[in-house]
Amino acid sequence: MSFRARHLLGIDHLKPDEITTLLDLAGDYVALNRRTVKHADALAGMTQINMFFENSTRTQASFELAGKRLGADVMNMAVAQSSVKKGETLIDTALTLNAMQPDLLVVRHPHSGAVNLLAEKVNCAVINAGDGRHEHPTQALLDALTIRRAKGRLHRLTIAICGDIAHSRVARSNLILLGKMENRIRLIGPATLMPAGVSEMGVELYEDMREGLRGADVVMMLRLQKERMDGGFIPSEREYFHRFGLDAEKLALAAPDAIVMHPGPMNRGVEIDGTIADDINRSVIQDQVEMGVAVRMAALDLLARNLRAERGRAAAGEPQWT
Ligand code: NCD
């Protein structure tokens, strides 16, 4: 099996063959999830703890369903009511949970790098469910599966990622993944919402959305991340929609069979016109949600296999992870 990672902290550390292995397995789980009886036993007897230090609807629900469908005991830690609010540090919280012997820890945190730090302190497998502006690997993987199924391939596509790139861990993880799979990537947005140094990343930059969309196979819209902005990044939401909101007129410039994506939650009328988001002939936004559960099942399954193998080696007195 070509998936060697101990944790899933980002796309950065995955090789293209590991990405393909995970997406192939996720494809099997899509089929399982469409059955009435959705149970598999890949995580039977294991404990999964979800720690979300930032609000989430679809990602947390998706990880919870994924763990349960694979037979794990899943606990959602209610961070809002936890001792974090009493001043406990992230590391102390992690060590406390670690002592309860979880096998899989799913963590979302507002600070970039917090999940990596935590992974160094615990002896279970850790999945990053989004850390600050850094990475959101399962989102990029579910986007990749959605694209692969809609387009029949995951290479040599022209993919336009539009909007608030600077604050988006979704954009960052997607950029890395889609780049590794040899696609042509265009970033579209106002200069104030482009991260520094992005021009060296082998992507094309556009401030004119109409130009950037021309002939694109995939149009990936991003939410305007107001909670990560501390000043005036855009003149007004109306002006933003006029220049960077996806509507029928702008979408007409993309390839005739272009698909429209959005990770959710959407700001209708700000970055995307509601009628485009709901157009079942163009929008794959609901497919993204469906693929999300399957991709998270695949990630949990592969990490659990590696964890079992590691523990088996340790029990046999063989050298552990190098
Ligand atoms: C994204 C996130 O939290 O980074 N949402 C998600 O996981 N579905 C994108 C966003 O919040 O805009």
| pLDDT score of 230 | 67
In the predicted structure, residue 322 carries a pLDDT above the cut 60: no
Question: Which amino acid type is present at position 128?
Answer: N
Look over the chain and give the mean of its residue pLDDT values, rounded to a whole number: 93
Higher pLDDT, 126 or 234: 126
Q: Is 153 a catalytic residue?
A: no
Distance CA 139, CA 229 (A): 22
> Strand pairing partners for 48?
74, 104
Distance 223 CA to ligand 1 centre (A): 8
**CA distances (Å), 260 to each of 62, 229, 283, in order?**
21, 25, 5
Q: First vs last Cα of the chain: how many Å apart?
A: 18
List CB contacts of 118: < 8 A, sequence separation 6 or more: 90, 91, 94, 105, 107, 109, 126
The pTM (predicted TM-score) of the whole model is 0.95
What 3-state DSSP class applies to 317?
Answer: coil
Give the mutation target among 107, 139, 142 for probing the ligand 1 site: most ligand atoms within 8 A of CB: 139
**CA distances (Å), 252 to each of 147, 219, 226, in order?**
19, 11, 28
What digits encode the pLDDT tens for the residues 5-26? Answer: 999 999 999 999 999 999 999 9
> Strand pairing partners for 200?
none
What digits encode the pLDDT tens for the residues 124-169? Answer: 999 999 999 999 999 999 999 999 999 999 999 999 999 999 999 9
* Ligand 1 close to Cβ of residue 186 (< 6 A): no
Kindly indicate the confidence band of residue 226, based on its pLDDT and cuts at 50, 70 and 90.
Answer: confident
| pLDDT score of 320 | 60
* Ligand 1 close to Cβ of residue 228 (< 6 A): no
Distance CA 90, CA 52 (A): 12
In the predicted structure, residue 321 carries a pLDDT above the cut 70: no
What digits encode the pLDDT tens for the residues 78-124? Answer: 776 666 667 788 888 888 889 999 999 999 999 999 999 999 999 99
* Ligand 1 close to Cβ of residue 223 (< 6 A): yes
Q: What angle do CA 21, 198, 187 make, to 5 degrees?
A: 75
**CA distances (Å), 219 to each of 96, 167, 243, 282, 285, in order?**
43, 18, 15, 10, 11
| pLDDT score of 231 | 65
